A and B are shown apart, each in its own frame.
Chain A
Amino acid sequence: MLKPDEMVEVLLLGQKERMKEYVDALHELALLHIREPGTGDGVFQQGVPEPEAGKHSELITKLRIVLERVKIDADKKPAGQVEESAVEKNMDTIESIIHGTGISLIESTDRKEKLNDEIKRVEQHLSAIEEIRKLGLEIGDFGPYEHIGVITGFCDSTLEQKFRDVNWVKITRAPRKARSTAFALFYPNEKEKELRDLIAGLQIREVKIGELVSYISSRRDKGVPVVHTFEELTRMYTMELKNLQKELHEVDMKIAYALKKYKTEILATREYLEIRVAKEELPQKILVGETSFLIDGWLPAREIEKLKKVSASYGVSVIPVEDTNEKPTKLNNPGVTKNFELLTRMYSLPRSEEIDPSLLMFITFPLFFGLIIGDIGYGLMLLGLALYLRNHQLVGIGGKQVGNVLCFAAISTIVFGFVFGEMFGLPFLPHGEHSGYAVSTLLGIEMGYGGLVNKFMDINFLMVATLIAGYVHLLLGFALGIYNEFWHKNYRHIIGKSGWIVILTGFFVGVMRLFAKIPLPVSTYYIIIPLFVIGTCLLIAGEGFIASLEFFSIFSNLLSYIRLFAVGVAKAGVAVAVNALVVPLFFTSYGIPAILAFFIIHFLLLLLGALSAGLHAIRLHYVEFFTKFYEGGGFSYNPFGYRRIYTKRGEKDGS
């Protein structure tokens, strides 16, 4: 639980003529993470892929491109699984749909992308023409002239400012509505260089009338009609736009038809091909000799019997190897705690022998998050948001794990809301400076409970509580660090880490004396100075002199936990300010808009709050906690196999 699954490395040695069957069985088992071999050693050589692999991998590449472009939603549970032989029979049809003479999805989607680009371009030109027409000039007016040059384009008012003192330029402007409007600038040819220097620093989007005309002409195959007026030009562009849109619609229909008719077949073919290609390309990842083959890989230690049993039936022997290679990591967290692997992975995947902090994050992350926000109203809104995010995306954030993590954070927020006696920044009972506005008076109910701790009054208590939380959290970090070093038999580092613990305790005593005013029998200095001296000695003994320069970093680590309440107080302060402005309006004629505003503003505050609470809670883990023990940098366990959804193995293969 606190550690990833134990992995063992095995060598699989078998007869070459049974390799294909065995690879099938191995793939179906989906247990072995195959390790790519070196160059071989004379007897064994890296194998070559099977002859059909090239053709299949080409098709699967195209299939992937198409599916990337059209974004089919994969079914969670398809109606039924198709047998592999049936898929194989269908392959030619699917192949022709993908890139053959049939519908050729790859061409159609290509065409669709091109059409979209062209439509965008034509629309841009059309709107440029529309704007330039507002200048009141005709195409002929833009030249070419013998002695005068013309520049047309879009710019904001900096253009006029630049040419305020220049008398050899004539600027024509469209009536100004937007910030950047069309202009035409006429100048004598001999001043061209001077002009270019002047406009170099301006943000001008230049439009060449000649290009607008030639662009549309080049799109017509037949004789190019000479365009004299903007009206004609606009008409031609509009017609072109219509044609393009019509073609796009046709292509869209074609794609939609193919997808509707063949969706399951396409997805099944993809699955079949992924499996097939993986198997066909496997020989490249193993060593093959004259009569035998050798596969090197890892699997979870508890699965080895299963592998042995299957291998025995193919005459393959399984040889466990003692090795020093870095092993792949398979995280092992039960039930809901699995969701918190997300936070660990975001930092870095643990290495195989390392402690996996996900389970600890399951406890501490929601705790810290809830402590920071601590408000029933916000907790309930966050819970709603979390449930929504489980199945939807919001600005790129979403997914089941994110939603579940937030659910726990929301529940903790609600619990702390009860502790603080707060709902939408309103206290349960009126007291102190914001008397009058409280949950009980607003709802007109009797409440006997006003919360255990007040965010604004009990600052000292909160500071002490968060510092104790920080001390415990850091101690836990060091304890895990010592465990890791023990595992690696780095006894010197254990001494160093103990030194840190002693120094941390010294600071903790000092800080407690300062904030909590705990009476000590002797002067504080008699306690903390020996602790600092002992700790520093241990530190220097364990990690060298340089490490002692970091002495104060542990102090800043400890104080960092004060943010748990500081950020919360700042948030609650904003909420109180909002309430002071909005709540009095509830009882006036603006009642309904005020109530609406109340919820909208608090929802926005929640988004900001959840963002900062989440970041601060994560940061306390990544910066303060992880640096005490965590290394990371593992690579993921990715067994040779496939989770079948659409296909199943045929009867004749046996399974």
Chain B
Amino acid sequence: MAVEGLAAIGAGIAIGLAALAAGIAEKDIGAAAVGAIAENPKLFGRALAIIVIPETIVIFGILVAFKILGMF
């Protein structure tokens, strides 16, 4: 198999797994946050900030993917 093909698969795995992990992490936080907002709607902003924390993992995935594809 060509090296480029393997690189593309690698990049895909890097983003895919990172996104999956972020999703799993956000699932629990999100459920808890919605519960908290139901109790006190004023917490919306803070809850939002907490929910999106794991998203950064995907950014790491994107960086690795770009690196694998040799874009920088």
Residues of A at under 8 Å CB distance from B?
345-348, 459-460, 463, 514-515, 556, 559-560, 562-563, 566, 615, 618-619, 622-623, 626
Contact = CB atoms under 8 A, between A and B. Distances in A.
Given A459-B71, A459-B72, A566-B62, A560 B44 contact: no
Contact of B63 (A345, A348, A559): A559
B46 A347 contact: yes
B71 A560 contact: no
Size category of the binding interface on chain B? 10 to 19
A514 B71 CA distance: 12
Going nearest first, the 8 A-B pairs with the smallest beta carbon separation are A347-B45, A622-B49, A346-B45, A619-B52, A460-B72, A560-B56, A566-B62, A623-B49
A626 B49 contact: yes
B64 to A, nearest CB: 11
B36 interface: no
Contacts of B32: none
Contact of A347 (B49, B63, B71): B49
Contacts of A348: 42, 45-46
Nearest to A619: B52
A514 B56 CA distance: 19
A482 to B, nearest CB: 22
Nearest to B67: A514
Given A460-B72, A566-B62, A559 B48 contact: no
Contacts of B44: 346
B48 A460 contact: no
A633 B48 CA distance: 16
B40 to A, nearest CB: 12
Contacts of A559: 56, 59-60, 63
A556 B55 CA distance: 11
A514 B72 CA distance: 8
A361 B70 CA distance: 35
A463 B66 CA distance: 11
26 contacts: A346-B48, A347-B45, A347-B49, A348-B42, A348-B45, A459-B72, A460-B71, A460-B72, A463-B66, A463-B72, A556-B56, A556-B60, A559-B56, A559-B59, A560-B56, A562-B63, A563-B55, A563-B59, A618-B48, A619-B48, A619-B55, A622-B45, A622-B49, A623-B49, A623-B52, A623-B53
A433 to B, nearest CB: 15
Given A347-B49, A515-B72, A559-B63, 16 more contacts: A346-B45, A348-B45, A459-B71, A459-B72, A463-B66, A556-B56, A559-B56, A562-B59, A566-B62, A618-B48, A619-B52, A619-B55, A622-B45, A622-B48, A623-B49, A623-B53
A345 B44 CA distance: 10
B51 to A, nearest CB: 9
Contacts of A346: 44-45, 48
A599 B59 CA distance: 31
Contacts of B56: 556, 559-560
A490 B71 CA distance: 45
Nearest to B69: A459
Contacts of A556: 56, 60
A588 to B, nearest CB: 33
| Best-buried of A514, A566, A615 by chain B (most CB within 10 Å) | A566
